[in-house]
Structure 1
């Protein structure tokens, strides 16, 4: 946990009557344009119900003030309704955090889930019950809530998200032990862009250098950029070397693809004003780890 968050915990102990908040400030958007329904109010009710569970559930025992809540978004696109109350959808989950000393928000998690399958009936309440599988929708929502919290905590303290990520993994285990009641997205497949691979990457000991890189990149990198840009970039280069270790062992892993989809433009901009030596180091690392965005990184050597 960051020094800033520890300070809020201390204040919470000293002043227990202060207003405390849930962990997430989540914007939920449900796009139902592709789905036919006689009563379209169900989609607004669905959006409200999802927003309610994401924003009004206390996911952990940590103390958060309103300004400490993690900013995140869920863009849910309903693709089909095979039968009444059964939905197939895609969702993009995005979380971000501020960088100290600036007004800049950096993306921590950006993940597209194409196996978002769930049941929902009009006016159905949603409620997360720990260690219990209720519905696939609440399982998916709680899974992403804990993944968002875990990765945010990793960005503030080294391996600080372990407890939350363990909860996300526990949810996956609960779903899979329910006899397949959760639908797709929860099992190992050739396509590594699903919930199974996302959380298994994050809790796999082989990926510890990646999680350590989240701290180096955000807390020791971006958060220092306004104060000491050269040191910040050196720490960001060290983060990239950590990621390189993982990429050599597990090329194409879900978390690596997600990281560079979110960070490629940011990395290019961060090293835009670097020394020639730092630019060359960044270019060499990035083009090896993330060849998909080579054209973007080549601009570093042209400035």
Structure 2
């Protein structure tokens, strides 16, 4: 059976890291922990959202998102936090959806973050015990489309971290979802169109598939596969590779000022970058401080503390 390169690498890493553990049956790709926050509820019975939480968990974890075979221990770890902000009607809600995901670093028990993002003001309908259904090329409802969109974003970022541009088919799947949203549905729930502004789902996938952002995707691969995954054997080389990859992040920021993906990169990786380079060389620290203060100016003082 053909297996894409990122999955071959993933399986190879886990085979080495988990030597002696008997593989389990093939599983789906994602293992998502789902929480629904209902502190602002005024009318709806909170039990409705217990069924929503279960439905989202089943949708994300039991859907087969790729043709690749994953073992249980290979599943991508993620969190989805749905915070209900407004009850528009008995079955229509506005919510903020926070998405987090991570992947293991080879030779350690450390999980490196892949995304840390909050999609604000997502409007969706849900009735108790209503199953969430999805078709990649056909619109069913806003909730299933938004959840599937982020499933493919997570997959794309994970695969990109194992192989250069390995996430391409998953980012294309996310773009297909954007293109499948009817105009009436897009107007009722902003985030799918360019006119909805930045940040939005539209601009997230536009950034990830834009030619001028490809250097950042190359940096993403080098940062994770050639950098972090090699830290256990040679931390000095790991830091040097990651420092060099940061220069590519700077290039993308110059070519595409204020790009949404740059902000997501800094929100996701800032603390990790600080930890990696706290023992770096003066030149490495200088490079990282220059890049991070440029792409995340509001936190410039935090980065300057590295020096």
Fold shared, TM-score > 0.5 on shorter chain: yes
RMSD over aligned Cα atoms: 2.0
Q: 1:194-273 counterparts in 2 under 5 A?
A: 194-273=200-279
Asked if residue 166 in structure 1 is aligned to residue 177 in structure 2, the reply is no
**Aligned partners of 2:109, 2:125: CA distance in 1, in Å?**
40
Query: Does the Cα contact within 8 Å between 1:19 and 1:65 map onto a contact in 2?
Result: yes
Aligned to 1:14: none
**Aligned partners of 2:13, 2:275: CA distance in 1, in Å?**
32
**Aligned partners of 1:266, 1:164: CA distance in 2, in Å?**
25
Asked if residue 60 in structure 1 is aligned to residue 62 in structure 2, the reply is no
Query: Does the Cα contact within 8 Å between 2:266 and 2:292 map onto a contact in 1?
Result: no
The structural deviation recorded for 1:262 is 1.4
- Which of 7, 10, 14 lines up with 1:5 in the alignment? 10
Alignment partner of 1:269: what SS?
A: helix
**Aligned partners of 1:246, 1:35: CA distance in 2, in Å?**
42
Alignment partner of 1:193: what SS?
A: coil
Unaligned runs of 5+ in 2: 1-5, 16-22
Q: 1:288-299 counterparts in 2 under 5 A?
A: 288-299=294-305
Give aligned pairs, total.
295
| TM-score, scaled to structure 1 | 0.92
Alignment partner of 2:289: what SS?
A: helix
Distance 1:92 1:226, change over 3 A: same
**Aligned partners of 1:240, 1:259: CA distance in 2, in Å?**
11
- Cα shift readout 1:3-56 (whole Å, capped 9, x = no counterpart): 43354999xxxxxx9611000000010011212235321110011001100000
Q: Structure 1 stretches (4+) deviating beyond 3 angstroms? A: 6-10, 176-182
Aligned to 2:134: 128
Query: Does the Cα contact within 8 Å between 2:31 and 2:75 map onto a contact in 1?
Result: yes
| TM-score, scaled to structure 2 | 0.91
